[in-house]
Amino acid sequence: MIVARQVINAQICQDYARSPWLLHCDADEFLIQTRYVMRQLSMLPQGVSVIKLPVWERCFVGDIPLNRVFEGYCRGPVLAPAATYGAALAARLTRGMAAYAGCKSITRVAAGLSIGIHDSFRDGPGSVADRRDPVGRKMLHLPQIVHVDGLTPHHAVAKMIDRDADIPPDKRAVIMSPARSAQISALSGRSNDPTQYFHGLRQVSSQAFAALEAREAIMPMPVDPAAAAIRRWPQSAPIFYPAAFDRIMRTQLDGGWRRSA
């Protein structure tokens, strides 16, 4: 499964790391406020081996069209999400997030911990070693990672269909929220229109936007990887237009996409 591959890759990186710290995040997650994070790492006492980074996810406000695949807004998790999104939509989200409402972590390499998807432990979560010698952790309380989770709606749906093929239903309860598992199941049977279903999860209404603003839980997308790529490789500009990207994704979806991530 993809989660097993991620853990193995992280451990191999730690074994060969030259840096004192290792950030474990996905290819569609982007570290922001880098100087702040580095300053926090420099001030940590030796007893702290893991720093936890809150993750926000990309969302879409109203019907504003995207000119580039990384545009949009980012939202954070909220308590009592039904008050923001309504009971029906909130039931399909996890604390108001379509993907996950947790954190990613940066781990001190010298601590020799087992690096997981969202945290690091001594010999795995709940182990005797971990209980006997708890890992020192520090949580940052500002959004530090932006999760794009699909460059376009078609791409996001392709990833979800891929997860259905990669992660057996009996394993999902261990590694993902009930809401995320239900999303994958809803798309696997092809009974729902994929892009409409995705927009239903990620589109933020004007009322929800106002509620998120009041909670300081939404912001314009703070990073633009497309602009950085175009500066370095000007010939890459066409692939960052959503329509061009989706022409490829539509073909893949129609043919039963696998291994999209």
What are the pLDDT digits (tens) for 175-224?
888 888 888 888 776 667 877 888 889 999 999 999 999 999 999 999 99
DSSP state, residue 135:
P
Kindly state whether residue 201 falls inside one of the protein's structural domains. Answer: yes
Residue linked to tokens 């097993």: 4
Kindly state whether residue 60 falls inside one of the protein's structural domains. Answer: yes
Other CB atoms closer than 10 Å to residue 149's CB: what's the count?
21
The SS3 of residue 235 is helix
Kindly state whether residue 158 falls inside one of the protein's structural domains. Answer: yes
Say if residue 175 is exposed, middle or buried (CB neighbours under 10 Å; 0-12, 13-18, 19+): middle
Q: What are φ and ψ of residue 54, in 5° steps?
A: -60, 140
Low-confidence ranges of the chain (pLDDT < 70): 124-131, 189-191, 251-261
Residue linked to tokens 């070693």: 129
Residue linked to tokens 């940590």: 44
Kindly state whether residue 261 falls inside one of the protein's structural domains. Answer: no
Considering its fold, how many domains does the chain have in total? 1
Kindly state whether residue 260 falls inside one of the protein's structural domains. Answer: no
pLDDT at residue 25 in the model? 93
Kindly state whether residue 259 falls inside one of the protein's structural domains. Answer: no
How many angstroms separate the CA atoms of 190 and 56, rounded?
28
pLDDT at residue 51 in the model? 96
Kindly state whether residue 74 falls inside one of the protein's structural domains. Answer: yes
Q: What is the extent of the structural domain holding 8?
A: 2-254
pLDDT at residue 255 in the model? 60
On whether the CB atoms of residues 35 and 193 are closer than 8 A, the answer is no
DSSP state, residue 218:
E
Kindly state whether residue 246 falls inside one of the protein's structural domains. Answer: yes
What are the pLDDT digits (tens) for 59-86?
989 877 778 889 999 999 999 999 999 9
H-state helical runs in the chain: 2-16, 34-43, 82-85, 87-90, 128-132, 153-166, 169-175, 178-188, 194-202, 206-214, 225-232, 242-254
pLDDT at residue 261 in the model? 43
